[in-house]
Amino acid sequence: MNHAFASTLAQRAFVIVCILFVLSYLGSRFFTHIDLALYGYIVGTLVFIGGFLYRFSAWAERPPTKLILKKGLKLLFRRGTSKTSAEHLLTYRFIWNRGWFRWTQHFLVGWGCILSALVTFPLVFGWMYFTMEDNGYYHVVAMGIDVMKIKADGLLAYLFYNALNISAFMVIAGVCMALYRRLKNMQARAEQTFFYDFLPLYMLLFVSVTGLALTGVNMFAGGFGHPVLTIIHQFAVIVTLIYLPFGKLAHIPFRPMSVLARNYREHYGALEQKACKACGTGFVSAEQSADVVEVLAKNDLSFRTEHGYHLAELCLPCRRKYRMFRFTGIPTHQIDAKEANQHANG
């Protein structure tokens, strides 16, 4: 089987596309509920999957990433995984430490994109659709099974109808907050570039605004210009999907990997701390220190000092002092004194 594909990446892409085909075939009741008006979204999604697989495979094959994934997956069912998953994937608590403003913008953009994906992809592939077998009531069908019956003019139906509009408002609010910070914060302005930092926000804004415009022309303009707006919105979504795996927005689908990294640090950190070779204080897990040395060796990099230990065996303050020693010739790393500003925020 492996000889039938040009690479492991090609094999993974083929398998995933086949799985999507089978799920669409079953979920849409043998393609009887596929909306051909969404054909462009299907193509864009498949291209996105291919791009994401390429980006993920290239990232996962790096020695440090492969090590984290291997050891992190083994710890997936440890006790703290549920808490870590909630903080990193649901509440974004790790961003709260940077301030409520940044947390709010990340929460709105992140959950706005997730909500829109949870609505769009099932509709595009026919995994979810609505039928009206009883007058005044909708039947929600998921994977070919009637899972819910809702009143057509009820609150739940209203939320279903407007889920994409709600997600669009969330994304617009979050993007506007992000743009405001990038334009007003001097440190952020010095670090930003148009194509990497601003362009993804403009693309999200364009998708959200054109999506809301479709609802607006149907509600207030009798559908005037709807065909043109449909093409514009579809074009915006497809371009964003194609761009997503290769730009800054890629951290949204990559975010679950942070749970594995957190498990790795917490588990091995609780077992044994690595003592700094210079000052003797514990600064990282012994496992992580050994892994850093191993990964660097795989890349033919060796940072052995003349004292016989590796730079990875020094804590950050002592590592900085060792660099000063290499430049000045003064053995500052052997001085038994901590840096005055080692915990500074600037």
3-state secondary structure of 76: coil
pLDDT band at 14 (very low <50, low <70, confident <90, very high): confident
Is-above-0.85 flag for pTM?
A: no
Lowest mean pLDDT among 133-137, 149-153, 238-242: 133-137
- The stretch 199-221 carries a mean pLDDT of 94
Burial class (CB in 10 A: 0-12, 13-18, 19+), 315: buried
Q: Examine the pLDDT at 345 and tell me if it is beyond 60.
A: no
Residues of the chain with CATH 1.20.950: 2-258
Distance CA 264, CA 287 (A): 9
State pLDDT tens for residues 243-277.
988 888 888 888 888 898 888 988 888 888 988 88
Tokens of 92: 């974004």
- The stretch 105-120 carries a mean pLDDT of 93
Tokens of 291: 């892994």
Q: Examine the pLDDT at 32 and tell me if it is beyond 70.
A: yes
pLDDT of residue 111: 94
Q: Examine the pLDDT at 344 and tell me if it is beyond 80.
A: no
Question: CA separation (Å) from 100 to 97, 112, 249?
Answer: 8, 18, 21
Contact 115, 122 (CB under 8 A): no
In the block, residue with structure tokens 């799920």: 23
Question: CA separation (Å) from 187 to 21, 102, 105, 291?
Answer: 47, 14, 18, 34
pLDDT of residue 337: 58
Distance CA 311, CA 315 (A): 8
What are the DSSP calls for 300-322, one per residue? Answer: T---B-TTS-BGGGS-HHHHHHH
Burial class (CB in 10 A: 0-12, 13-18, 19+), 149: exposed
Q: Given 1.20.950, 1.10.3470, 1.10.10, 1.10.1060, which CATH number is that of 2-258?
A: 1.20.950
pLDDT band at 346 (very low <50, low <70, confident <90, very high): very low
pLDDT band at 332 (very low <50, low <70, confident <90, very high): low
> 104-108, long-range: CB within 8 Å, 24+ apart, which pairs?
104/174, 104/177, 105/174, 105/175, 105/177, 105/178, 105/181, 106/174, 107/174, 108/170, 108/171, 108/173, 108/174, 108/177
In the block, residue with structure tokens 């617009």: 172
State pLDDT tens for residues 34-63.
777 788 888 888 888 888 888 888 888 888
pLDDT of residue 177: 94
